[in-house]
């Protein structure tokens, strides 16, 4: 999305090796496995988009959040919400923003975080027709797809015991920024990182724009530069599962919700397909999405959450 940054991250191998005893204990006994269902995830894209654009400060935004939180509470033993505000210059008003966190195995101190933003952009600023720039986008892919993966992952984690603590986070206020006001981007993830305190995860995975038909997922530049071990972990997991949509090589560097984690020294990876033609236009609807990429991304995340053999490497 917008540029890049450079922050050194260099503690991953020591962290992973040191956590072997935890994984040995957490992995005892075969778990009851649930299969990630791409069609169920796609249904969540439809449900979100049926509400309309989820622009902060609007009734559809608040209605959607109530549905998302209610669903997470059906699946996770602990669900926490955080409400805060942000003054949006382009909207000329302050809006209420809301994050949600679903915690699986909340008693575990060794944790990973998987996140997605759930808000949608107030402006279709990539439309060729400038008269459409002030219209809000529906966000079938940019917003709804990442959330869809997390909600289906939550259903699976209720049935399949994670091998360590897993937090699924829905970030608000990712897409309120502009070139003139870049501070409007990733408000929710910045807020989340600021409030982490000592509860730092061993790594963070962001899923954003993962639903488009025929999507391919290359290494994101900031992720690969600053957290190469975690990039390798995710892409090797996909390869070992025979999932071919995860491809090697950096295709773009993206300014996204993983940046606050990297800036805080937390290894982070952005799983994203960026630069698709419908991005930030009124054509970003469920029609461009498919269950297939949702299922491929979801299967990788579920495997990383439930096997956790990578901690012994």
The parts of the chain modelled with pLDDT lower than 50 are: 1-31
Q: What is the pLDDT of residue 312?
A: 61
**How many CB atoms within 10 Å of residue 214?**
11
N-terminal to C-terminal alpha carbon distance within the chain: 33
Give Cα 84 distance to the centre of its chain: 20
The rounded radius of gyration (Å) of the Cα atoms in the chain is: 18
Q: What is the pLDDT of residue 26?
A: 37
For residue 46, give the CATH number of its domain: 3.40.630.10
- In a domain? residue 5: no
- Between CA 218 and CA 220 the distance in angstroms is 6
pLDDT single digits (tens) 50-105: 999 999 999 999 999 999 999 999 999 999 999 999 999 888 899 999 999 999 99
Number of domains in the chain: 1
- In a domain? residue 255: yes
Strand pairing category for 78-88 and 93-104: antiparallel
- In a domain? residue 2: no
- In a domain? residue 1: no
Residue ranges making up the domain that contains 206: 12-312
- In a domain? residue 195: yes
Q: Is 144 helix (H, G, I), strand (E, B) or coil?
A: helix
**0.85 exceeded by the pTM?**
yes
Q: Which residues contact 157 (CB under 8 A, 6 or more apart)?
A: 34, 75, 76, 104, 166, 168, 302, 305, 306
């Amino acid at each position: 999305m917008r540029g890049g940054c450079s922050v050194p991250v260099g503690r991953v191998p020591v962290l992973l090796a040191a956590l072997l005893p935890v994984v040995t204990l957490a992995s005892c006994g075969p778990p009851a496995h649930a299969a990630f269902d791409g069609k169920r995830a796609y249904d969540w894209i439809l449900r979100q988009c049926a509400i309309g654009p989820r622009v902060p400060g609007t009734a559809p935004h608040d209605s959607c959040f109530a549905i998302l939180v209610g669903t997470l509470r059906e699946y996770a033993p602990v669900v926490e919400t955080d409400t805060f505000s942000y003054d949006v210059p382009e909207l000329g008003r302050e809006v209420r923003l809301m994050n949600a966190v679903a915690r699986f195995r909340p008693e575990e101190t060794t944790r990973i975080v998987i996140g997605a933003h759930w808000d949608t952009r107030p402006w279709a600023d990539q439309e060729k027709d400038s008269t459409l720039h002030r219209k809000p986008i529906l966000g079938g892919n940019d917003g709804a797809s990442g959330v869809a993966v997390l909600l289906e992952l939550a259903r699976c984690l209720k049935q399949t015991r994670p091998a360590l603590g897993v937090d699924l986070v829905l970030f608000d206020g990712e897409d309120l920024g502009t070139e003139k006001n870049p501070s409007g981007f990733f408000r929710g993830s910045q807020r989340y990182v600021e409030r982490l305190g000592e509860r730092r995860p061993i790594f963070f995975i962001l899923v954003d724009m993962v639903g488009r038909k025929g999507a391919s997922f290359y290494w994101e530049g900031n992720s690969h530069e600053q957290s190469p071990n975690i990039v390798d972990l995710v892409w090797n997991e996909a390869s070992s599962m025979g999932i071919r949509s995860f491809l090697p090589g950096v295709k773009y560097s993206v300014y996204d919700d993983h940046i606050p984690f990297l800036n805080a020294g937390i290894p982070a990876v952005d799983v994203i397909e960026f630069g698709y033609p419908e991005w930030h236009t009124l054509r970003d609807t469920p029609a461009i999405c498919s269950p297939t990429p949702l299922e491929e991304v979801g299967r990788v995340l579920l495997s990383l959450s439930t096997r956790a053999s990578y901690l012994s490497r």
